Chains A and B, each alone.
Chain A
């Protein structure tokens, strides 16, 4: 009995086992191979990720809702969705790293693959955890790997500074979270998330205590999703980290944060009214209002501070803060639609943000600069890159018919559906504000003349293919997004 249960559980984490295997191979490579050789490491990483993606898809197909490892993780569409996002984003980051000039002279490519694998395992476990200990542990795995990745460029001042700030901020945030978790443990007498719900329903706790515990826990989660007031590390770290890693933080790490925060609230604070599709908040605190206020601040601050930025990575960092704000709108109402709206937004955001960062990296490879001013006349240096960048930026703004628009619409509708009009109005105004700084880049690319003596930017086959693979969904999902919606809807199911 015991043994079969373990076998079953191991099958359910097959993608992680595949990734771990790839990581082990990479570690062996790190020990055996010459340090100058590293391309093979990427192939191993890519194969590992492809295997994990395949395994995740197979799990999706044969899905039976269950928990594994004695209720430590849930196997459900929600978790699988984020596991998929984890491995796909790491796949892209590996490909990006292969194209990156910054990472070219970095020696530890084998270790890099191993650390990225660790990141993937952490993220996938984060999305599946139904236990406070698991959440803490997987989040730490993800965080520690992120710290290493951010400071990965040896000798590079910016990368190191970013890494130091990141680990200091991150470990303090997680200390707060741990403290909050310990209080929740005191309330629930158990580490399972569902025990918290039971405790809330059975006893009345002082709302101050629950608020403090929630806020402390939220400090850790909010650090990952970059929400105000835990957002200030992000611009510095995003700017200083190597661009592929910045992308990983902006896309995967944020998605992981949303996965865990959604799972946390929907399992521990929210109960479905039996036999209906209607949810109620059973905790003694009005955290929905709290999140709504945070969402408003997050998007506003992100957008406003993005305006005066001169470094495009920094600008995109603020923009990603703003996007976290838009997604938090979905968290400030409770409904199945809201969850699926966030998932849809994350998917869409994945493509457009990855695309924007990728182009930033390609431009940096050639121009050795991340200054927005250097984008002057980019359309003359590379019409293709400029056109793709324009699509990504318009999509980030939320202009139809690009996918970003759909993401915003579903989130806004989920909020309107619950009568949260003021927040939607704030969000719409913010969208208008955001047009300013996105359009500034487009304006530079198309309307300003490049400095004398620039040569056309050559884009290789691999980068071009990567850009196209991101461009197609960004446009396609803007026009034909019903499949995406049904996928998100299906994936919003939590065990």
Chain B
């Protein structure tokens, strides 16, 4: 058995799979924090793409820089999201997304 060299496509498929798992997570999890973890998976998938393209195509490190920024922003986003989750938890004593449905129609 020979091991085929790893190409760009392999990285892309890895990222696609990770992204889809993230999609599954954000759509099906009931717990708000679990949903946020799903988002992190999706963002990581995109970052893999960026770094892989940066490696295999074109000059420069643009993709890596983008990934770097994306990591930083994800951190900020998570901080804000958790702040919101905690503040809603104080009001309703739950972070169950199924209970957050008073606004509808």
Contacts and interface: CB of A to CB of B under 8 A. Distances in A.
Contacts of A214: none
A4 B35 CA distance: 47
Interface string B33-51: 0011001001101110110
Contacts of B35: 168
B17 interface: no
Given A151-B87, A191-B62, A309-B105, A167 B81 contact: yes
Interface in A158-212: 158, 160-165, 167-168, 171-172, 175-176, 178-179, 181-183, 185-186, 189-191
A109 interface: no
Nearest to B89: A160
B85 interface: yes
Nearest to A156: B91
Interface residues on B, range: 35 or more
Describe B's contact surface by its main secondary structure: helix
Nearest to B56: A186
Interface in B1-59: 19, 22, 26, 32, 35-36, 39, 42-43, 45-47, 49-50, 53-54, 57-59
Contact of B87 (A160, A182, A183): A160
Q: How large is the interface on A (under 10, 10 to 19, 20 to 34, 35 or more residues)?
A: 35 or more
B49 A182 contact: yes
Given A172-B42, A190-B62, A154 B87 contact: yes
A190 B24 CA distance: 30
A158 B103 contact: yes
Contacts of B91: 155-157, 160
A175 B80 contact: no
A175 B87 contact: no
A240 interface: yes
B39 A175 contact: yes
Interface of A: 132-133, 136-137, 140, 144, 147-148, 151, 154-158, 160-165, 167-168, 171-172, 175-176, 178-179, 181-183, 185-186, 189-191, 235-237, 239-240, 308-309, 314
20 contacts: A136-B70, A144-B77, A156-B91, A160-B84, A160-B87, A160-B92, A161-B102, A167-B77, A168-B35, A171-B81, A172-B42, A175-B46, A178-B42, A183-B49, A185-B53, A186-B57, A189-B57, A190-B58, A240-B103, A308-B105
